[in-house]
Chains A and B, each alone.
Chain A
Amino acid sequence: MRAVRILNRSIRDSFKSVFRNLSLSTASIACTTITLILVAISLFLSYNVREVTNTLEHELTIVVYLKKEVTKEEKNKIESDLKTMPNVDSYKIKTKDEWKAEMKKESDTLEITLEYLEENPLLDSVIVTVKDVKDLKVTAEKIRQYDFVSSAEYGEGMVENIIGIFDAVSIGTFGIVIALVLVTAFLISNTIKLTIFSRKTQIEIKRLVGASNTAIKLPFIFEGFILGILGSIIPIIISIYGYTVLYNQTGGYVFTKIITLVRPFPFVFIVSGFLVLVGSCVGMLGSWRAVRKYLKI
């Protein structure tokens, strides 16, 4: 009970102090807000990139065109070879007639052209689905080795570029976030330092009348905690509304159908929880530093 009352009074003290040093508190809160907005962005980015990679891994295929003069034996050979290739998940034969049918459906011009030609100019093909998208290039190269293979195509470069860009952006934001976290912790620590200085007599009296060291430190730790929590309010609102709006506006797709966004619920709530956690930790990190450095008892 005694501990609960001390806790209560400490929290009350911390709130008073946040509002008493309003300008400094506001600066700390603003800095926390900016940091957490970036944390949110990097979370949304990195999580969606992971999703994209997953999608690609499932959907990415190599289209292998076989030369016109390919023999029945050669077709059998490539089928049996594909079965033994470690990175090949599955494959499907798509004959030139199937291609023709598909193309005819796609446009009228094509239909007329294809009908005009006596012989089907298209090639037989095998559509290969891979297990690991990172080894896509190697697998395609291997398939190209066959004499009877005309070409083996995949979204060459494009896929790797997208993933590469996302990776770079993720790493970049992560670096900025770390730097901002440190700056924020420092700013909060500075705010708490001033509180400690302005409460010198109070601390002295507390110590004199027999408050434990923990009881003396508690209000300052809470102050950092409160600053962190207050700083996470705006980022949370932005995350919940911003992401939901983005998702609804784009229909969940960015650029092409390859990149689908993660559904907003419960994703935004998980992100919000994480933001509160980061905010309060940054706040307490700052106050812990100030207490260690400036509260000599």
Chain B
Amino acid sequence: MKLIKVEHAYKIYKNGTTAVADLSVSIDKGEFVFVIGSTGSGKSTFIKMLYREEKPTKGNVIVGGINVAKLRNSKVYKLRRKLGVVFQDFKLLPKLNVYENVAFALETLGLPNEEIRPKVIKAIESVGLKEKMRSLPSELSGGEQQRVAIARAIVNEPRLLICDEPTGNLDPETSKEIMKILDKINKESETTIIMATHDKELVNRMKKRVLVIENGVLVSDTKKGSYKVHESSKDSK
């Protein structure tokens, strides 16, 4: 079953920049997909269209049965409840501890406390932070903070997890840990993961599907791909 279907999508920003052009791609339920490309190539823009942070200028972007291109602003929350998003800069609330940060997502949605508790603990356990549940973000390392952000993104058990350079601020060792967690989430709960990254080694090691975007155009799409595909496609130009 296709979870994501992008058909001839364009994104032209108000200032005239074409960030994504005629992009078509399908992603199945349970897949792990890397999105790579040099800086400014349009990775973030592509990803933002998936969770309707940006509206496609043209074409269709269908995520979990919802056509993002036609989704009204007041209905965006329906899409957001089906997915989780993780960023380079964690976006944690500094005054809330780990537990509260993760619980915040469910409290906002109006879940009852007795339902929130087990879900939050499960999510925190799955990122291996049970011991630090009462710590504030300022008391955590970068890797730990990112794990909190991941826990928050998966606490509502979404079908899709979107990550925009989640390891961008982390050292190689910590990045490895994060990738282990993401891999585990992908395998254990069949959560589809789409991740934009610059990290060559990481992509090469994981051997997952790789989408290469250059100047807003999808230039290659390979199963068990590596960064080399990207390099060679660039060389051949």
Contacts and interface: CB of A to CB of B under 8 A. Distances in A.
B110 A3 contact: yes
A83 interface: no
Nearest to A209: B105
B109 interface: yes
Given A1-B112, A5-B111, A9-B107, A211 B93 contact: no
A105 interface: no
Which of B77, B104, B112, B156 has the most chain A CB atoms closer than 10 A to its own CB?
B77
A6 B76 CA distance: 18
Interface string B163-177: 000000000000000
Nearest to A3: B110
Interface residues of B, number: 24
A210 B107 contact: no
Given A212-B77, A213-B77, A206 B108 contact: yes
Given A1-B112, A6-B110, A205 B80 contact: no
Contacts of B73: 213, 297
A202 interface: yes
B80 A210 contact: yes
A204 interface: yes
B108 A213 contact: no
B57 to A, nearest CB: 20
Interface in A205-257: 205-213, 215
Contact of A215 (B82, B104, B108): B108
Interface in B143-167: 152, 156
A209 B93 contact: no
B81 interface: yes
Nearest to A2: B110
Contact of B80 (A2, A3, A208): A208
Interface string A17-31: 000000000000000
A293 B111 CA distance: 30
A209 B110 contact: no
Interface in A166-212: 201-202, 204-212
B111 A209 contact: no
Contacts of A297: 73
Contact of B91 (A204, A210, A211, A215): A204
A211 B104 contact: no
Contacts of A204: 91
B65 to A, nearest CB: 15
Contact of A201 (B93, B108, B109): B93
A240 to B, nearest CB: 39
A205 B93 contact: yes
Nearest to A208: B85
A212 B104 CA distance: 15
A213 B74 contact: yes
A210 B85 CA distance: 11
A27 B67 CA distance: 47
B78 interface: yes
A3 B112 CA distance: 11
A6 B112 CA distance: 10
Interface string B185-220: 000000000000000000000000000000000000
A73 to B, nearest CB: 86
Contacts of B108: 6, 9, 205-206, 209-211, 215
B160 to A, nearest CB: 12
Nearest to B85: A208
Contact of B109 (A1, A202, A209): A209
A108 B82 CA distance: 99
List of 10 A-B pairs having minimum Cβ-Cβ separation, nearest first: A210-B81, A210-B80, A2-B110, A209-B105, A6-B110, A5-B110, A210-B77, A211-B108, A212-B77, A206-B108
Given A205-B105, A209-B84, 11 more contacts: A2-B109, A2-B110, A3-B110, A206-B108, A207-B80, A208-B85, A209-B104, A209-B152, A210-B81, A211-B109, A213-B77
8 contacts: A2-B110, A9-B107, A9-B108, A205-B108, A208-B80, A208-B91, A211-B108, A215-B108
